[in-house]
Amino acid sequence: MTQAIAKADYSNCIVGIDLGTTNSLIAVYRDNKITILEIEGDKLLPSYVGLSPSDDLLVGHPARNQYILYPERTIKSIKRKMGGTESVVLGDRSLLPEEVSALILGHLKRQAEIQLGIPVRRAVITVPAYFNDVQRQATRSAGEIAGLEVVRIINEPTAASLAFRNSVLSQKECNGISAVYDLGGGTFDVSIVREEGDVTEVLASHGDTRLGGDDFDRMILDHFMAHIRQEYQTDLHDDRRAVNRLTHAAEQAKIELSAHPFVHVVEEDLAVVNGRAIHLDLELSRSQYEDMIRSYVDRTVHCIQQALLDANLTPSQIDHVLLAGGSTRTPLVRDVLQDFFQREPRSEVHPDLCVAMGAALLGARIQGLAIEQILVDITPQSFGMAALGIGEDGLPNLFHFVRIIPRNTPLPVTRSESFYTLRDNQEAVDVEIYQGENDDVRYNTKIGNFLIEGLSKVPAGNTVIGRMSLDLNGILTVTAVEKSTGLQKSIKIEGVHRPKTALEIEDARSRLADLIPDSQIDDSVMPIYPTDAMEQSDGFGLLREQADILNRARSAFEKMHPDDRQEAEDLCQRIEQLASEGKEYDKALNELQELLYFVGA
């Protein structure tokens, strides 16, 4: 039985959660150290959700255990579907990906509450650095459905770098540049990070959200299937239970080959075809396995090269290569990295745990604890709008991508661009928003549409300023101002991936409510939704996260130079005044964050 942690006050804690493709985990920073909370005796919770034959909800190991027998009643690797609109089937239910993720997050939350002895309301949740805005919004929605206030979304390699910085890098080593190589079950990211004293600055990131250990498993599975076809002249791809048994065997073989040069795989009675029992009995060598996955590992090297190019660095300028993610245990990965960087990769911090540890560290800093590290993160992809442009052939191009926020821009950031009406008396402009790097919007990720309505009836060429803001979570908001009048016009986000409203969150909860025993539902634990009046978390109408920034500033007043302190005090007062009047205060808040960064607070 898991013992409750007998420590001091946890009432205001912010937990760190690594919501992974293969496994998920939760951590908390207390008493000057990070604790990974055990979930039913294990630090790693398999990211499986299932319904038992009696329709009881299963999360983690029980769901994984039933996957082979009841694949139609079990869901795995849901992270790869985050941000999509296609539902997944769980028994006789149809759920959105963020609802399935919410069941995992809710289980982590409830188990943490049992151990800490208090409600867990706030969390930092990690995502792949190369997750787009759609996927980040879906992750935030999953947290809110689970009853969590998601105070920050942080990139996984960034979180890993914080954990290494806190745990193993010496003071001398902290002044250098690291490449954080994060290869998990379903996604890959690399970030180039500069450490200077207490400042952790992300210089560039790149990645692939469709590359990870699941792909390695699939290559081994294909090898098993080819062997069975040759041995029995039959194909088992349509036998779901046989496929799931072989998939599990492939994953176990992969794990064994990380430590041993050969593995003997035996799976008896996989199926019966024409009265004949089908078995698998073969030996797989590490060299065979490495030949299967080499193209995937080479793809990660291409990402590294792009990140180094964006950071204007060469491999020889990297001081440390830091490993995160369980798939980095594959010997080929370490060999390729050592050959590329000409230095030994480092894995002193557990690769499965370091991301959650970094998230817990950031949560502690947001909470106001004495964590000296300062984090400067970036957006790994560009944001912009579709507009009429002129192609290389001199003809009008309807699919021109106008970058407003380029990739690798430090967060938070606000940028704007001018757009012009095409017709006389044009009263509305429909602008499409995209994320990506191609000059043709058709090859980028469409986030949605925003509609500017009520423009002045003037000749063509009326200037409309489109403004994009990325917060510290890498989540986008869009506003627009008609330049001639100075009036802000209404903007309607029409994309299907907009943030969920409070009513939509409650609707999702109600659909999941009967899956969760009443004893596990804490009605007092409610997130602060980023919608309408429910945004407010203090007497001035500030968001909880923004109020935390003001509290951090005030706690640092005594350490500041008198001039800096006066500026910080004025900014705090101005932000509270603007918030209380319902006016925009983003500019002042950004100024305060920049000041705190430069004074090291």
- The amino acid that residue 231 corresponds to is E
The pTM of the full predicted model, rounded to 2 decimals, is: 0.74
Helix, strand, or coil here: 496? Answer: coil
What mean pLDDT do residues 92-105 have? 94
Cβ contact 62:50 at 8 Å: yes
Q: In this structure, how many other beta carbons lie within 10 angstroms of the beta carbon of residue 43?
A: 17
Q: Residue for token digits 């075809």? A: 273
According to DSSP, the β-strands at 122-127 and 14-19 are parallel
What number of CA atoms fall less than 13 Å from residue 234's CA on the CB side? 16
Q: What is the pLDDT of residues 296-328, one digit of tens each?
A: 999 999 999 999 999 999 999 999 999 999 999
Query: Residue 477 maps to which CATH number?
Result: 2.60.34.10
- The amino acid that residue 184 corresponds to is G
Q: What is the pLDDT of residues 18-39, one digit of tens each?
A: 999 999 999 998 878 899 999 8
Whole-number mean pLDDT of the chain?
Answer: 83
Same domain, 478 and 523: no
What mean pLDDT do residues 335-351 have? 92
CA distance 125 to 219: 30
Q: How confident is the model at residue 2 (pLDDT cuts 50, 70, 90)?
A: very low
Same domain, 509 and 482: no
Same domain, 452 and 562: no
pLDDT at residue number 448: 78
Q: How many distinct structural domains can be found in the chain?
A: 4
- The residues facing 34 across adjacent strands are 29
Q: CB neighbours of 204 closer than 8 A, spacing ≥ 6?
A: 191, 192, 307, 308, 310, 311, 378, 380, 408
Same domain, 20 and 157: yes
At residue 277, φ and ψ (nearest 5 deg) are: -75, 135
Query: Residue 223 maps to which CATH number?
Result: 3.90.640.10
Q: Residue for token digits 């560009």? A: 382
Does the pLDDT value for residue 572 go beyond 90? no
Which tokens is 457 given?
């009836």
Which tokens is 321 given?
């290569």
pLDDT at residue number 288: 96
Helix, strand, or coil here: 431? Answer: strand
Cβ contact 212:21 at 8 Å: yes
CA distance 542 to 528: 11
195 falls within a domain: no
At residue 391, φ and ψ (nearest 5 deg) are: -75, 175
Same domain, 434 and 485: yes
Residue 419, Cα to own-chain centre: how many angstroms?
Answer: 32
CA distance 148 to 584: 26
Cis peptide before 412 (omega within 30 of 0): yes
Which tokens is 556 given?
């640092």
Same domain, 118 and 140: yes
What mean pLDDT do residues 90-96 have? 90
Which tokens is 61 given?
């190991």
193 falls within a domain: no
- The residues facing 177 across adjacent strands are 194
Which structural domain range is residue 570 located in? 536-599
Does the pLDDT value for residue 514 go beyond 60? yes
Closest Cα partner for 576 from 541, 533, 534? 541
Query: Residue 117 maps to which CATH number?
Result: 3.30.420.40
Distance set, CA 566 to CA 327, 368, 551, 559 (Å)? 50, 21, 15, 12
Q: CB neighbours of 70 closer than 8 A, spacing ≥ 6?
A: 50, 53
The residue among 291, 306, 340 that closes a domain is 291
342 falls within a domain: no
CA distance 384 to 420: 15
161 falls within a domain: yes
Does the pLDDT value for residue 478 go beyond 90? no
CA distance 121 to 117: 13
Same domain, 125 and 245: no
pLDDT at residue number 588: 81
What mean pLDDT do residues 329-343 have? 95
Q: CB neighbours of 309 closer than 8 A, spacing ≥ 6?
A: none
Element (H, E) at 279: strand 276-285
521 falls within a domain: yes
Out of 69-73, 327-331, 352-356, 446-450, least confident range? 446-450
At residue 556, φ and ψ (nearest 5 deg) are: -100, 0
- The residues facing 273 across adjacent strands are 276
pLDDT at residue number 69: 86
pLDDT at residue number 349: 87
pLDDT at residue number 523: 44
333 falls within a domain: no
Same domain, 13 and 143: yes
In this predicted model, which residue has the larger pLDDT, 431 or 314? 314
Strand intervals (E) in 159-221: 176-183, 188-196, 199-208
CA distance 219 to 242: 16
Cβ contact 28:10 at 8 Å: yes
Same domain, 441 and 519: no
Q: CB neighbours of 261 closer than 8 A, spacing ≥ 6?
A: 285, 286, 287
331 falls within a domain: no
pLDDT at residue number 568: 86
Q: What is the pLDDT of residues 244-282, one digit of tens each?
A: 999 999 999 999 998 899 999 999 999 988 888 999 999
Closest Cα partner for 374 from 61, 67, 597? 597
Burial class (CB within 10 angstroms; exposed 0-12, middle 13-18, buried 19+) of 275: exposed
26 falls within a domain: yes
To the nearest 10°, report the CA torsion of 500, 503, 507, 509.
80
Does the pLDDT value for residue 364 go beyond 90? no
Out of 215-219, 269-273, 495-499, 595-599, least confident range? 495-499
Does the pLDDT value for residue 540 go beyond 90? no
Q: How confident is the model at residue 493 (pLDDT cuts 50, 70, 90)?
A: very low
- The amino acid that residue 543 corresponds to is L
Same domain, 107 and 155: yes
Which tokens is 74 given?
């079990």
Same domain, 5 and 119: yes
Same domain, 261 and 116: no
